[in-house]
Chains A and B, each alone.
Chain A
Amino acid sequence: MGRLQNTLGWLGRRAENVLALMLFSMFVAFLLQIVFRYFLNLPVGWTVEWVTIAWLWGILFGYAFVVREAEVIRLDVLYSGLPPKGRRVLDVITGLTLAAVFLYTIPASWDYISFMMRERTAYMRIPFFWVFVIYIPFALSVVVRGLISAWVGITGAGAKLTTAQQAETHDYD
């Protein structure tokens, strides 16, 4: 058990490294784009495409492997007002519902994503399959996290998620 936790912890930190690197690459690509266009008079297109792909991957990869339950944008007016038992019931219901819907639709989503092998991005000519395939691990993580949240609700204490404690992570508002 301790070994598994260590491994998961290690993987979690590597996922964080990857995510930070994606944002860093967006930052650098934008700066290059400005430099190329205005200082060297060489408009480039691949930078925007790179940034777009990093953004898409950053969201889905980040949400799947890095974002914690406590940071998630939720309406917690009802939830945070309930006693732990009430929250456990809600965790079970929402966890199972999300897991069921995302699991059931994975085959259809996979069908679309593999269909997109035939279309390519404008500059780097990457098949859209490779751009969009990150959706599958994302959907799987929603399923797994939904099941875990339901399991914890059934067996253990209700999650202690209140936005009030984590408000500073919502720094886009």
Chain B
Amino acid sequence: MIDPFTLTLILIAVLAIMGASVGLSMIAGSFVYLILKGFDPSIASETMLQGLFNNYTLLAIPLFILAADIMNIGSLADRLLRFAQALVGRYRGGLGHVNVVSSLIFSGMSGSAVADAVGMGKIIINMMTRDGKYTASYAAAITAATATVGPIIPPSIPMVLYAIVSDQSVGFLFAAGMLPGLLMAFSMAVMNYIMARKHNFPVDEIVPLRELPGITWRALPALMLPVILLGGIYGGIMTPTEAAAVAAFYALIISVTIYRSVSFQDFYKALLGSARSTANVGILVAGAITFNYVITRENLPLTIAEMLSHYELSRVGFLIVINLLLLALGMVLEGGAILLIIVPILIPSVQAMGIDLLHFGVIVVVNTMIGLITPPYGLLLFITANITNQPIGRIIRDIWPFILALMVALIIITFVPDFVLFLPRLLGYQG
């Protein structure tokens, strides 16, 4: 006779692999666990309802999604691209660098890699492939790769999810992502330079320097958002949760007043689209919360921590194992699912290893972002494939160098904790 817990794990895995909603599979599995144990099945619905109701940090998610969706309806992306072009278009592989820089700027305004790729993807890919300057697959690959920076630079929805499961401060997590995000962008710019030399990519049209101030001025309202967000959070004007609402408000205001590109229809569509995404990811959150009762009742996180302690892994060995595990999971799972389902099980082990939870959070989020561009399941690959009509296989061929570049950044992020923790400590983080 298999014990109820094992049976539950099998049921959830089978339902999920067969294509059922991951969130509903976990809720259903939790119900079945309670029934098999002879407990009150309403514990699952209670855990789910109370868990969704009692979590202030969660409330940032819908508003960060809304902020990104509002930015994507305006002409913000055009202006940012124009700015990036004036800045770095003059170097070899120019539009590739423009891609990196505009992703970096966009990442300061939105909390989602998917939203970044959707918002900028079409325009930058068009720019790159016009006149056959770059192959469509290279344009798709670099667009997907650079979008991964989105949730590393604040704001960030994945960081909010991590904050919830690890009980860390969203504000410090945001600060911790800053330098790693810049490092990732830098490593991809280097890779683009190498590829540009190899394939002899062109220099972009050179924007005269005297036009730079004007272009910067027009892009300035957009460039200001990350400053406002971090200033607001660290200036004590708003909590990170409220910052999400401010980001959405700011995007709306500059889109309506300065860029004059948002109609009521557009705004309604953004609202509805964000609400849909919220409901969808919300069910995943609900499933994770519910299932968490089961793994707690079975003491799974502690069992795993004890199991791991038998291997007597060193801290370095442990971090290598964790990174490999997360990268492997990232190939087949969504980032949100990894953060909500897998990470809570690992946290006691991480603590037992004496690894800082803020540092670990950045490692986890970087891994899940790399997961968005690794086959077979990579949301950013799907999006750029849809935009370019390229087969995913060809994009994958062009994206490997960038995955390599991100791996180099990941190694530094993993093994130089001071690099990640420098900025949070500057802001008062104790750890």
Contact = CB atoms under 8 A, between A and B. Distances in A.
Interface in A16-65: 16, 19-20, 22-24, 26-27, 30-31, 33-34, 38, 48, 51-53, 55-56, 58-63
Contacts, number: 248
A123 to B, nearest CB: 13
Interface in B1-57: 15-25, 27-28, 31-32, 35, 40-42, 44-46, 48-49, 52-53, 56
Given A34-B245, A51-B59, A167 B278 contact: no
A58 B69 contact: no
Interface centre among B244, B272, B368 (most CB of A within 10 A): B272
Contacts of B344: none
B15 A97 contact: yes
A58 B244 CA distance: 17
B49 A56 contact: yes
Contacts of B376: 77
B329 to A, nearest CB: 11
- Contact count band on B: 35 or more
Interface in B212-250: 237-238, 241-242, 244-246, 248-249
A40 B52 CA distance: 30
A173 B335 contact: yes
Interface stretch (B77-85, B311-319, B381-389): B381-389
A132 B49 contact: yes
B53 A167 contact: no
Contacts of A163: 377, 379, 382
A105 B48 CA distance: 14
A14 to B, nearest CB: 12
A90 interface: yes
Given A19-B276, A33-B242, A52-B59, A75 B52 contact: no
Contacts of B283: 59, 63, 72-73
Contact of A108 (B15, B18, B40, B244): B40
B275 A73 contact: no
Contact of B114 (A48, A161, A168): A168
B66 interface: yes
Nearest to B246: A34
Interface string B403-422: 00000000000000000000
Contacts of B238: 34, 38
A129 B346 CA distance: 35
Given A48-B56, A72-B21, A108-B40, A22 B245 contact: no
> For the complex, would chain B's binding face be called helix, strand, loop or mixed by DSSP majority?
helix
A157 interface: no
A98 B276 contact: no
B326 interface: no
B46 A171 contact: no
B108 to A, nearest CB: 17
Interface in B249-263: 249
Interface in B168-200: none
Contact of B278 (A30, A58, A98): A58
A101 interface: yes
B299 interface: no
Contact of A111 (B21, B42, B64, B382): B42
A113 interface: yes
B45 A62 contact: no
A66 B158 contact: no
Contacts of A102: 27-28, 31
B207 interface: no
B17 A27 contact: no
Nearest to A48: B56
A78 interface: yes
Given A30-B63, A109-B45, A24 B271 contact: yes
Contact of B15 (A56, A98, A105): A98
B379 A59 contact: no
Contacts of A59: 52, 278-279, 282-283, 285-286
Given A23-B275, A94-B15, A172-B278, 8 more contacts: A75-B22, A101-B31, A101-B32, A104-B35, A161-B19, A167-B379, A171-B114, A173-B379
12 contacts: A26-B245, A73-B21, A73-B281, A74-B19, A74-B21, A79-B18, A94-B19, A97-B20, A98-B15, A132-B49, A169-B280, A173-B158
7 interchain residue pairs of minimum CB distance: A62-B279, A59-B282, A79-B19, A30-B245, A167-B382, A112-B42, A94-B20
